[in-house]
Structure 1
Amino acid sequence: MKITAVHVDVTSEPKAHPVRDAIQLLDRDGVTRVRIETDEGVTGESTTYFGRVASSPAVLAKIVEEQLAPVIVGEDPSLIRGIRERLRELTDYQGSAGLSAYGMSAIDQALWDLLGKSLGVPVWKLLGARWPAIPAYAMVGWLELDVAGLERMSARAMEQGFRGVKMKVGGGPLTEDVRRIKAVRTVIGPDAPLMVDANQAFGYAEALRRGRAYEDLDCRWFEEPLPAGDTDGHVRLAEKLDIPIATGENRYGQAAFRDLLARGGVGVVQPDLRRAGGVTDCLEIGLAAAGFGVPYASHGGGAHIHVLAALPNTIYVESGLLPEGAELVDGCYPLPTAPGLSASW
């Protein structure tokens, strides 16, 4: 089987309900879709989401169509790691992070989807699943919500059967964070996991000050307290705090996690499929983390469920509220049954 063509299309529209974290307003629904075709009629697809900047999906489409696609046409689509290395070599001069990484990830996911469809099985079966279902929490605590809205969304998440919830912090003074965290804790009860996410908003001193407060409030983890690339800061912070530091969604490629893991700067590793390099790199990051005894929780859900199913150190899949008709099973996201890289909903 050989790759014969790569097709890309995009959409970019204003988000009906913009959401806010500590550093940005996410006001777009932008998507780049990649479809890889073969001479045997089997196709693989991926979707890459953008929450900001109207032109980003089209820029990514140009990179895929004009730089990456010509290199993979004619290749055996099952040689996924070989294709990855060729694309890394190709993009090295311009930089293999940023939108180059997004493009390589889009191709990687489409290739795994194609491989699963060619064999008639979901990708988690190809990766060697460890778990039959994945515990799920709901990311519902955006900063544009007032306290009443925050309570309402958190209550809805618990009604839908989620194990716990995550909320944004750092949009105002610490006193505001404390007030909002206490409100959510009252709604979800004393035992449900409650995670907080600062989206890289703090410097070291403020992250340490707030981290101590979040510890006292029994938060399960403190996510992205510092700029993503500050490995030294993450190591120092982890040494001072008992609350686990969760990070990784804004690191590009497997190599970017090496020192962070080896030096103990992360307590919950959280790669993002788009930035880390797709299924292939996320799986390898997860296995490396397992070697250091570090648990793995996805940034986002969807296709990531296949990676989570295969890792021995998986603890959670991240989700928004469930769509109409979807259900969790004992607080867990069921594994998809369709061939390829589909999600359950």
Structure 2
Amino acid sequence: MRITSIREREIPLAAEIRNAYVDFSTMTASIVAVESDVIRDARPVTGYGFSSPGRYAQGEIIRNRAIPRLMRAEAKALLDPETGDLDPVRANAIMFEGEKPGGHGDRSVAIGAVDAAMWDLAAKLRGQSLAQLFADRFGNGAVADSVWVYAAGGYYQPGSGPDALVAEMTSYLGQGFEHVKMKIGGAPLTEDAERIAAVVEAVGDGARVAVDANGRFDLDTALAYGEMLTPFGLLWYEEAGDPLDYALNAELARTYSGSLATGENLFSVQDSRNLIRYAGMRPDRDWLQMDPALSYGPTEFIRMVADAESNGWRRDRFIPHGGHQLNLALAAGLGLGGTECYPGVFQPVGGFLDSTPVNGGRVKVLDHPGIGVEEKSNLWAHFRDL
């Protein structure tokens, strides 16, 4: 098996929304196609990958660093020496050649999109779903029939007040979700308290509502919000402070008795290890949300899971950020706690296959080749001619 070409493209994810930090009106993502010389049904077997919302497309790094390294490599360097199968872990290491440690940001997004395509290709070459490949290599061989998902939304929208927010959140319940997440930190505390109260009343239970500050708060503000949030009994309080401010998170964990969640902006196993070591995260109630597509791909994410397990964390405390089909495969194959979903924003990446609606807060896992990009029509439209 040889890689014959790797192609990338930028696609729009624009939405007229904002969180506490970012206006998403110009958001983009990268998509990648890795074509092999294996022919089936008169076509080359091709793997598809994409980046998650929130970090913009990274075509320059993909074109000028990741792709040339892979295309220069000897064909056997990408293969498992025992089975002869494509090994995405080896491909990931080749993409790292010439890169210094640290400085993960945009580089991790670029490599992550290509890494995802490599895993998609590896599963297709084996004739199995990506969830099954993950289960075989890193799990117990069993793929979950369905995965718990929650609806992420509740962004600040121009000209919209609490009534529009409540309408959005309750619409997700009508789509089959049982838990929702909304943004905080983009308005004064008193206004956010009113927004939260309105949503909790509408869905009927604070334990069905999570809130996300997107790293906006300093320590005093994080603690003040924690005090305000406590009576609601929320599902979790997410990313109160800067993602690398482990001391802030640790202090918040000492005073906030509810569940905390963070990790979507940590892109390496070293960073996730420091989160576990120094941020006061509690394995009995808190959640880890690293985003595989932004974290050098499934290869590095799986290392994060293994490292957390060695430090006393269960796999079901992972609920990855990103809200797309790649994370559904990881959750089903590795036995994670669930995954995010963007039912209303960040299309075409957000959401799952056309044939898998949410039912009872869960999404059925189908036995399709690879990730299943071809079965998500609005996403496949961007890949079809790539």
Question: Which segment drifts farther, 174-183 or 262-271?
Answer: 262-271
Q: Paired residue for 1:217, among 226, 232, 240?
A: 232
Cα deviation, 1:35-75, whole Å, max 9, x if unaligned, reads 112222321111225557xxx53xx2221122111211243
Aligned CA distance change for structure 1 residues 12 and 18 (closer, same or farther; 3 Å): same
Partner of 2:330: 307
Which of the numbers 242, 247, 250 marks the counterpart of 1:235?
250
SS at match of 1:150: helix
Map 1:34-73 → 2, pairs under 5 A: 34-40=32-38, 41-49=44-52, 56-57=56-57, 60-73=58-71
What are the residue-to-residue correspondences of 1:198-217 with 2, within 5 Å? 198-217=213-232
Give the match for residue 260 of structure 1: 275
Alignment match, 2:261: 246
Q: For structure 1, which runs of at least 5 residues remain unmatched after alignment?
A: none
Residue of 12, 21, 24 corresponding to 1:23 = 21
1:166-211 CA distances to partner (integer Å, 9 max, x unpaired)?
A: 0101112211111111100111112651100000110112101111
The reply to whether residue 106 of structure 1 matches residue 113 of structure 2 is yes
Question: 1 or 2, which has the higher strand percentage?
Answer: 1
User: For residues 287 and 270 of structure 1, what CA distance do their matches in structure 2 show?
Assistant: 14
Rounded to whole Å, the distance in 2 between the matches of 1:173 and 1:181 is 12
Structure 1 pair 139–34 and aligned structure 2 pair: CA distance change class (3 A):
same
Which residue of 140, 148, 153 corresponds with 2:163?
148
Match of residue 271, structure 1, among 290, 296, 307 = 290
1:94-129 CA deviation, whole Å, 9 max, x = no partner?
Answer: x65122111111111000000111112111101114
| Secondary structure in structure 1 of the residue aligned to 2:267 | coil
- Report how far residue 326 of structure 1 moved: 5.2
1:120 aligns with 2:90: no
In the aligned structure 2, how far is the partner of 1:48 from the partner of 1:243? 31
- The answer to whether the 8 Å contact 1:289/1:296 transfers is no
What one-letter code is carried by the residue in structure 2 that aligns with 1:45?
Y
Structure 1 consecutive aligned stretches of length 4 or more whose deviation exceeds 6 Å:
322-325
Which residue of the partner structure matches residue 302 of structure 2? 283
Bigger mean CA offset, 310-319 vs 189-198: 310-319
Give the letter aligned to residue 214 of structure 1: L
| CA–CA distance in structure 1, aligned partners of residues 335 and 31 of structure 2 | 30
Q: Could you list the runs of 5+ residues in structure 2 that have no partner in the other structure?
A: 39-43, 80-85, 136-141, 345-350, 377-386
Distance change in 2, residues 1:98/1:264 (3 Å): closer
Matches of 1:125 and 1:115, distance apart in 2 = 11
Query: Counterparts of 1:308 and 1:107 in 2: how far apart (Å)?
Result: 20
Partner of 2:313 in structure 1? 293
1:304 is matched by which residue type in structure 2? N
Q: CA separation in 1, counterparts of 2:335 and 2:53?
A: 30
Equivalent-residue separation in structure 1 for 2:178 and 2:263 (angstroms): 22
Do residues 331 (structure 1) and 361 (structure 2) align? yes
* Aligned-residue RMSD, C-alpha: 2.3
Q: Deviations over 1:298-340 (max 9, x none)?
A: 2122111111113344144333247987521322011132201
User: Could you tell me the percent identity over the aligned residues?
Assistant: 26
Q: Distance in 1 between matches of 2:116 and 2:97?
A: 19
The one-letter amino acid paired with 1:284 is: R
Distance 2:308 2:185 in 1: 28
Q: Which amino acid aligns with 2:26?
A: R
Against the structure 1 CA distance between its residues 51 and 239, is the aligned structure 2 distance closer, same or farther, given a 3 Å change threshold?
Answer: closer
1:277, 1:63 → 2: CA distance? 12
Find the residue that maps to 1:18 and give its secondary structure. coil
Aligned residues: 337
Please give the TM-score of this superposition, normalised by the length of structure 2.
0.81
Amino acid at match of 1:281: E
2:98 pairs, out of 90, 94, 111, with 90
Conservation of the 8 A alpha-carbon contact between 1:298 and 1:318: no
